[in-house]
Structures are given as structure tokens and as C-alpha cells.
Structure 1
Amino acid sequence: MSQLIQNGHTILTVRAHLLGRHLDLKRLGHLEVLATNPLVAPIGEHAHAVLFRSGAVVLFGVDAAQEAAFIEEIRPFVRDPLLQPEHEDLTILIDPIRPEGLERDRLVLMNTELARLQVVADILGKSVLLADQEARVAHAFDRIEPLAERLRRHGRGVSHADTLIRHIGEALAIQQNMVGRGEIGDKPEVIWERPDLERLFLNLEAEYEIRERQLALERKLTLINDTAGTLLDLLQSKRSLRVEWYIVILIVVEIALTLYELFFRGAGH
């Protein structure tokens, strides 16, 4: 069950998905909107979906059939869908008496008002996005590490600039997803309207290590960019040196031809 009553308290299940690189919210005009920034849409009578431009969708109190139907409904509006979508689950206990925050393996909330769900969804959406970016960066490291090792052992990197440019492009794309669409370092707009929810947001942000993961990714992306940039500079310097040698050889050949011509002209006279 996605929602049940236990010892007089409501237990709500939450699942966050990262479906692709971008979700076109402007084309979801057919959905009923309960709140914006982030967008909240109802599913059935009691369930909710929170949707993000980053491609993340967070579902509250949705059963398996509703989840499958809703994802299928919005799939046409997902750009660059992931072959293996990231997902993360969370259980919420609704208790107006206990302090809000993570308690063992579940989150305690005072109630299920939309603003609170938006704060929770913001963190879960960022968490699944970071998980995807972490996998992409790890893959990028695996590809660029042999190039750096080749430079260390043999004093040369790659012979084609296209390979290095692709590495730089991948790093820039990851940064764009995190900072641009994912807004990893930003607070959700609902916090500015509801400052009383900032403590909940900060607690969740710390529990999911959002900022720490972001900083770790930025350091790795900087290293990838620096490595690829250094190898590209070396490759271009090598090509420039090769062009200079070609010019020198052409000059020498031209001088030799001139001397040859002068010699035979002089010998003919």
C-alpha cells in the first residue's frame, strides 16, 4: 500500500524518479496544477506528483498502477530519457506532535500540506539527479584516466582532438544539468514564502548530503576539465610544432632549389 494508517498515524510512501535529462513542464498544460515552483499535480483523490525541469518526478502516496500510468502519461514530454532511470524511496510518518525530521529510516512530518511536500520533493529530486551525475562523472573518470596515465608513462596523450573535446563537452553538460535545470545549490521558492519550513529543508539537505555531493562533483568536473584541457593544449602545441617544421622544410627545399638553379646556370655560362 502507498498510504496506510498505523497506530493512529498516517504512513505515506514516496518515490522519486529521474526519467531523463529534461522535463518540458510548459507542455504539461493538460495537468491540473495545485501549486507551482515546483509544480504539484494531483493523482487520484489523495496522491500527488511533484515535477521538475531536471527530469525528476516525485510521487507521494501513489500505488504501483497509478505510478505506471502517470509516468507513461508524461513520458512523451521527457527529453533524452534515461535507459536506467534513477529512483529513491522514502517513508513518511505523519505525526503533529513529534519534531519534524528524519527518524531512523523514515521522515516525520506534521502534516501533508503541499508546501511541506514541495520541500521534501525538492530534496529527493536533487538527490536522484546527483546520483545520476555521480554515475556520469565516474564513467568520465574511467575514460580520461588512461589518457592521463599514457601521458605520464609515454609523454603523450591522444592523437585526436575530438576525444578531448567530447570529454570537455560531457563535463559542461553535467554542470548544466546540476546548476541550470537541477538548481542544486538553490533553495526552493516555497522557502521564501514559508520561512517556517527552512529548518525542515536544511535538515533534509544535510541528511542527503546535497551540498557535499555537489562540491565533490564540482571538484571532479574541474579535474576532468583541467586534464582534458591540458591534453588538448599539448596536442595543439604538438601540431603547431609540426606545422613549424613543415614550414622550415619547405624553406630549406626552396633554398636548395634556388641554389641548384643558380649552380647550373653558373656552370652553363
Structure 2
Amino acid sequence: MKSYAFRSQPPLTRVTAHAINVGDRVNTAGFEKDALSAVPLALRVGQDGIAVVFRYGVVVLFNMNLEEESAFLERLLPRIGGRLTPPEEEAATVELLDESGDQVASGGPIHVRDMSMARLLVVSDVLAKSVVLAHDEREVAKVFETIEPFVRELASAGKFFRNRRGILKLIGEALLVQHHVAGRVAIADKPDALWDRPDLERLYARLEDEYELIERVETLNRKLEVIGETADTLADIIDTRRSLRLEILVVLLIAIEIVIGFYQIYAARGGH
């Protein structure tokens, strides 16, 4: 891994990082020969740009203009599965700091000791996780909007008039978001770059704290639990209602059978 990521002379002191959640996954096979880093995949793009591609559907672009970004995303398009339209995006500024340590100012630029590839990978990892969380938070909010009419009907009328298919769809949406959080992106896992550079643990910890990754995951999981419990409750109510209807239907059939039996007995006696 090269000590300095960019080739510009004099060395760059300020770059923009642009994280884009383009889809559910990205196929990175075939880029290995041009890679600056294998895991995650990092490529040199354009005049002096770098693209970090995460398999779970995020691209983080450093020091690239709009034309270079558009050209790279167009090149990546056939490799994207479950494309998001519009994509979720987040930007940050990375600045070279003439001090011994890395600094992450609240709401400000990310100050780094040097523009090494390892530091950029740490920054890109956090930005990628943050942009995925932003997408999942939006999806959870949509599920809450779907739940609200069910709960409101139940609270005001003591019953609701929605079918079981709608409830099952609701449960499916909740499980899908939960899968994205727990399976597609391991938010709690540290970036692979830290295995080779444990000295960057502090930078990662500061970025993780600045973007509130752990807190956001915990909040998301609590919301998913509420969604799951609410959906289960509504499904149980529907099952109870269907069971009651079935019992009423059985009683009616028995009653009809009794009436028919009495009629046959009456008809038989009338025939004599």
C-alpha cells in the first residue's frame, strides 16, 4: 500500500470525499490489476482521483470532479445489483493537518496527519457505513408511515379493515431493512486497513463517534423491534378475527344441517 495516495505535485492538502450508495451490491471482480487496495477495492480514477468501492453497494470518490464521477459511475453501472434511484449521498472534506495526530472536528473537515492510502480507506469506511445507515433509516421511516394507519384505526375504532397481505408486506419490509443492517453491512466491524495499521485506531474511533455509527445502529434496531412487535400483534388480531369467522361459519353449517334434518323428518311424516 503506497504511503501517499495522490500523485499531485505539490502534494494535495485538501480533498473532497463523496460517498454514494448506488445499490444493494457491487461486483468488484476484474479490477484487481489496477487496484491500489484489494479490500476494500480502491482504484485510481481520472487525473488524480481515487474511488473506493465496497461490495455492499457504496462508492466513495476522492478528489474527483463531476465529469470524472459521472464517467466512473457509468463504467460501474453494469456491476451494480439492486440499483437505488435516487442514490443516497454524503460528502466530507479531508484536510492535511500540520500536527502529529489526526483530528475530527464536529461538523467540520476531517484533519489527517497525511494523505496516505490507509487513512483514506479508514475515512471511506466510515463514510460508506454512514451513507448506508442513512438509506436504512429512510426505509425504516417509510415502514413506520405504513404502520401508523393500522395502529390509528385500531386505537380509534377498536378494529381495522386491512387484509393479512398488507401485514405480511409490512413484516417483509422490516425484515429486509434488518437484513441490510445486520447482513449486508457489518457496521460494528472495523475496517481491514486497521489490521495493517493499528496506529489508525484512534482516527477510526473519532470518525465513528463523529458519525454516531453505533448509536444509529442501536436506534435502528430498536425501531425494527417495535416494527416487528407491532406487525406480529396486528397479524395475531387478523388470525383471531379469521378464526372467529371460521367458528361462526361452522356454527351456521351445523344449524343449516339441523334445519335440513328437521325438514326431512317433517316431510317424511307428511308423506304418511
Q: Same fold (TM over 0.5)?
A: yes
Matches within 5 A, 1:1-269: 10-26=13-29, 28-29=30-31, 32-44=34-46, 46-95=48-97, 97-103=99-105, 105-269=108-272
**Which amino acid counterpart does residue 38 of structure 1 have in structure 2?**
P
What amino acid is the match of 1:170? E
Task: Name the CA shift for 1:250/1:81 in 2 (closer, same or farther; >3 Å).
Answer: same
8 Å CA contact 1:43–1:66 kept in 2: the answer is: yes
Residue 87 of structure 2 aligns to a residue whose secondary structure is strand
Which range moves more in the overlay, 28-37 or 246-255?
A: 28-37
Superposition deviation, residue 38 in structure 1: 1.5
Structure 2 unaligned segments of length 5 or more: list them. 1-5
- 1:158–1:235 contact (8 Å) kept in structure 2: no
How high is the TM-score relative to the length of structure 2? Answer: 0.90
SS at match of 1:147: helix
Alignment coverage as a number of residue pairs: 266
Higher relative strand content: 1
For residue 3 of structure 1, report the CA deviation from its aligned partner: 10
On the 8 A contact 2:24/2:56 being kept in 1, the answer is yes
**Which 4+ runs in 1 deviate beyond 6 A?**
2-6
Q: Deviations over 1:187-237 (max 9, x none)?
A: 122223322221111110010001111111111111112112211111111
1:4 and 1:157 map into 2 onto residues whose CA distance is: 65
SS of the aligned residue for 2:55 comes to coil
The answer for unaligned runs of 5 or more in structure 1 is none
Question: Quick check: 148-157 or 182-191, which moved more?
Answer: 182-191
State the shift of 1:9 in Å.
6.6
**Cα gap change, 1:4 to 1:192, in 2 (>3 Å):** closer
Name the CA distance, whole Å, in 1 between partners of 2:212 and 2:7.
Answer: 27
Cα shift at 1:186? 1.6
3-state secondary structure, aligned to 2:187: coil
Q: Is the 8 A contact 1:157 1:231 kept in 2?
A: no
1:45 Cα deviation (Å)? 5.3
CA distance in 2, matches of 1:127, 1:215: 14
Amino acid at match of 1:66: E
TM-score by length of 1: 0.90
State the identity %.
37
Q: Distance in 2 between matches of 1:31 and 1:163?
A: 48
Is residue 17–residue 60 contact of structure 2 (8 Å, CA) maintained in 1? yes
The residue identity in structure 2 corresponding to 1:89 is A
| Matched residue type, 2:158 | G
